[in-house]
Amino acid sequence: MQHDDHHHHHDDHDNHFSEMQARVKALETVLTQKGLIDPAAIDAIVETYETKIGPRNGARVVAKAWTEPDFAEWLTRDATAAIASLGYTGRQGEHMRAVFNTPETHNLIVCTLCSCYPWAVLGLPPVWYKAPPYRARAVIDPRGVLAEFGVTLPESIKIRVWDSTAELRYLVIPERPSGTEHLDAERLADLVTRDAMIGTGLVSSSGDVR
């Protein structure tokens, strides 16, 4: 499997530590040695932002698309503007495209040259998203990768893989699960996971990850 260490975008999101990240790591080590911080506590905070607080913005975008056809149409036409209208802009979320799952098509997001990720709507990128094995195999064998995430799709469903770049980031709008007609947008947002908005998960009416 070829690593892409020689590829660089005009951004600071390559797989290796940037100078700033290296400084942060060094500082964290010193503070840990002095007993001033607990690495486990930091890990817990990072995980919260990665899986809960960060993706909450994207979950609200999805729920609004499910409940307001005009907003869904705006997302289709100009996702950057539609998402910005909710106040979600900023780092690596300036140029967005929304791709909608349907009964016939499932969308999967990858960035083969880097870890391009729309922080404004998905929070911190998970470690596996940056990993070369995911980045390479998601393009070559998307059905197999999805199966490893617990998402087994019928052969009749086409899988489209979207390659994010430094200029354009993607957000998957998963299908709204049946049996949720009585839920308002905020309750619907509770069901939407980060993985579903990358395409490595599905949304269930019970709020399970898969």
The residues carrying an active-site annotation are: 111, 114-116
Q: Is 205 annotated as belonging to a binding site?
A: no
- Is residue 195 a contact partner of residue 144, using CB atoms and an 8 Å limit? no
CA 197 – CA 99 distance, rounded (Å): 10
Q: Which of 70, 59, 209 is nearest to 120 (CA)?
A: 59
CA 24 – CA 18 distance, rounded (Å): 10
Q: Is 116 annotated as belonging to a binding site?
A: yes
Q: Is 178 annotated as belonging to a binding site?
A: no
SS3 of 132-194: the string is HHHHHHHHHCHHHHHHHCCCCCCCCCEEEEEECCCCCEEEEECCCCCCCCCCCHHHHHHHCCH
E-strand stretches of 11-168: 96-100, 105-110, 158-163
- Is residue 88 a contact partner of residue 66, using CB atoms and an 8 Å limit? no
For 88, other C-beta atoms within 10 Å of its C-beta total 20
| Residues of the binding site for Fe(3+) | 111, 114-116
Binding-site annotation: residue ranges: 111, 114-116
